[in-house]
Amino acid sequence: MYEKGLSFYSDQCVDLFGPEYTLTSTYQNVAAVLQKYGGADAYRGTKVAFPNGSIDPWKSLGLLQSNSANNVDAFIIEGTAHCADMYPASPNDLSSLTNARTRLKSHLNDWITEVLSSE
């Protein structure tokens, strides 16, 4: 992933944003955020879907584990990239994408129905 080396990208941050954006400060800031909020393993949200494309470069940063106790559904959409599920449906869509949209729609229907029935 880092073919040019991590320092190359860190140096770009310094060039673009200033000398305080070093690799060391980046690691420190990430550690502070994880300390304050927790990482993916500490996610405490409820009624959330996390669709991830199998060829999405951001996938490794996404939540990949479902938590049925909190009604959190994390899943991979085979053959798709970033945000594919958010585009309008097409007759040429992969079946995995069509199935993912059906899954998401089902979650939304369930969650909205639950809220409306509790009012």
pLDDT digits (tens, 9 = 90+) for 56-104: 988 888 899 999 999 999 999 999 999 999 999 999 999 999 999 999 9
Residues 44, 6 share a domain: no
Residues 49, 73 share a domain: yes
Residues 31, 44 share a domain: no
How many domains in the chain?
Answer: 2
Residues 67, 30 share a domain: no
pLDDT of residue 2: 52
Cβ neighbours of residue 78 under 8 Å, at least 6 residues apart?
A: 54, 94, 96
Residues 33, 57 share a domain: no
Query: pTM to 2 decimals?
Result: 0.73
Longest Cα–Cα distance in the chain? 55
Determine the structural domain holding residue 27 and report its residue range: 1-38
Residues 99, 49 share a domain: yes
Residues 62, 92 share a domain: yes
Residues 49, 62 share a domain: yes
Residues 20, 71 share a domain: no
